[in-house]
């Protein structure tokens, strides 16, 4: 699958006759909602976990030195809490561009804290896309992130802002928090180096 998935996403779902569509954010969409939305609610999707296994050639890295950003990997019995947005369908032109680096839109049920449920869309980058970096230890991921920067800023900023946003949602994500901890250790070590 190519890096740029915009045209693929534009053919995946039909929004004909819809006034609004739900979209789920599990990474930067939680803390950087740079699009208009009708409603925003904490939600979870089941059987998925966040992982920093996707390369970022266009936001938190460059084509020659991609950063690492989140995708979701399927893990039965798990759940992933994030933020659900109800948006007008024309917002997907912006979202498809923002998430163009290997992500495809998939349908999933979103579960809200009040017990209600809606079907919506979530962007997931699978292991068959050209920007896939794959698994690594959380220490290696942190070292990679600490050295990466792109047009949207330093890669470590993404992790730190996400970790803060997850705490505000009362979500404990061991993978994200371990990488955050390693990044803080690296910063401290670099500050102490003469």
In the predicted model, what is the mean pLDDT of the chain? 94
Catalytic site includes residue 149: no
9-29 per-position pLDDT tens digit: 788 888 889 999 999 999 999
Domains: count for the chain: 1
Catalytic residue among 39, 99, 138, 149: 99
Domain membership flag for residue 185: yes
Distance separating alpha carbons of residues 36 and 48, to the nearest angstrom: 26
Round the CA-based radius of gyration of the chain to a whole number and report it: 17
Confirm whether 12 is domain-assigned.
yes
Residue 1 lies in a domain: no
Q: What is the mean pLDDT of residues 56-74?
A: 94
Which of 151, 138, 148, 133 minimizes the C-alpha distance to 182? 138
Contact 52, 179 (CB under 8 A): yes
Domain boundaries, position 25 = 6-192
Kindly report the CATH number assigned to the domain that includes residue 78. 3.10.490.10
Residue 47 in 3-state DSSP? strand
């Amino acid at each position: 699958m190519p890096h740029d998935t915009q045209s693929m996403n534009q053919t995946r779902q039909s929004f004909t006759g819809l006034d609004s569509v739900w979209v789920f954010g599990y990474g930067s969409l939680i803390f950087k909602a740079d699009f208009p939305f009708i409603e925003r609610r904490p939600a979870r999707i089941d059987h998925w976990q966040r992982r920093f296994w996707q390369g970022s050639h266009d936001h938190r890295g460059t084509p020659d030195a991609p950063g690492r950003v989140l995708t979701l990997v399927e893990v039965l019995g798990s759940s992933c809490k994030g933020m659900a947005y109800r948006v007008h369908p024309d917002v997907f032109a912006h979202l498809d561009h923002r998430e163009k680096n290997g992500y495809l839109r998939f349908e999933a049920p979103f579960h809200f804290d009040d017990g209600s449920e809606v079907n919506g869309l979530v962007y997931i980058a699978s292991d068959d896309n050209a920007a896939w970096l794959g698994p690594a230890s959380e220490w290696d991921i942190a070292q990679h992130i600490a050295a990466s920067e792109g047009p949207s800023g330093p890669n470590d900023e993404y992790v730190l802002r996400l970790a803060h946003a997850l705490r505000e949602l009362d979500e404990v994500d061991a993978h994200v928090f371990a990488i955050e901890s390693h990044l803080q250790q690296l910063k401290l070590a670099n500050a102490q180096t003469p």
